[in-house]
Amino acid sequence: MERRAADYRRDAERLLAMQRLSWEINFAGRGFREASFRMSLRAGIDHGDVFVYEEAGQMVGWLWLDRYDAGIIHIRHIQVEREHWGTGIGRRIMEDAIATAVSEGRHTVTLNVTKSNARAMHLYQSLGFRVIADEGERQRMKLDVARVPARVGRHRHRDVDGSEEGR
């Protein structure tokens, strides 16, 4: 799997479609704010916080990281293309996010997850995340990077420039 920085012109429409599907699944009946998402996405891409993951040149998922302070990375979005659900790609992207936190010397990774998304919650718990706040239909989860199991984040990915990184 290859990871590259997202490019707004190249990726925005696909990322928008994936986000819209996620919104419809998790927040059915509520209006999706496309203009707001586009504006935030552009800022995230411009800041270098959005990554696309590809296999054989095809997008299989994406990740958006927020770096709140020197010690914390928050996973704003992680999504896998629907046809790749259940194939382990989400785990690999999560492990890459954790490895990024480690490589940047951060001590905590946080995320929010919709309670109805049982598959995602199970994945996050299997990686060592724990619930730290109940926010109605969502839960905030936290991972203490120092407690990450040795097996997490040890896969290798290839950046599009061809360099391999142990993660």
CATH of the domain at 49: 3.40.630.30
Say yes or no to pLDDT of 69 above 70: yes
Domain count, the chain: 1
Tell me which residue of 117, 144, 2 sits closest to 62, measured CA to CA.
2
In a domain, 165, yes or no: no
pTM for the structure as a whole: 0.85
In a domain, 109, yes or no: yes
Say yes or no to pLDDT of 108 above 90: yes
Q: What is the pLDDT of residue 154?
A: 47
Taking residues 22-46, report their average pLDDT. Answer: 79
pLDDT band at 156, cuts 50/70/90? very low
How do 72-80 and 108-114 pair as beta strands?
parallel
In a domain, 164, yes or no: no
For 135, the domain range is: 2-158
Contact in structure between 53 and 81 (CB atoms under 8 Å): no
In a domain, 166, yes or no: no
In a domain, 47, yes or no: yes
Say yes or no to pLDDT of 111 above 80: yes
In a domain, 83, yes or no: yes
Rounded CA-CA distance 116/104 in Å is 32
In a domain, 50, yes or no: yes
Say yes or no to pLDDT of 102 above 50: yes
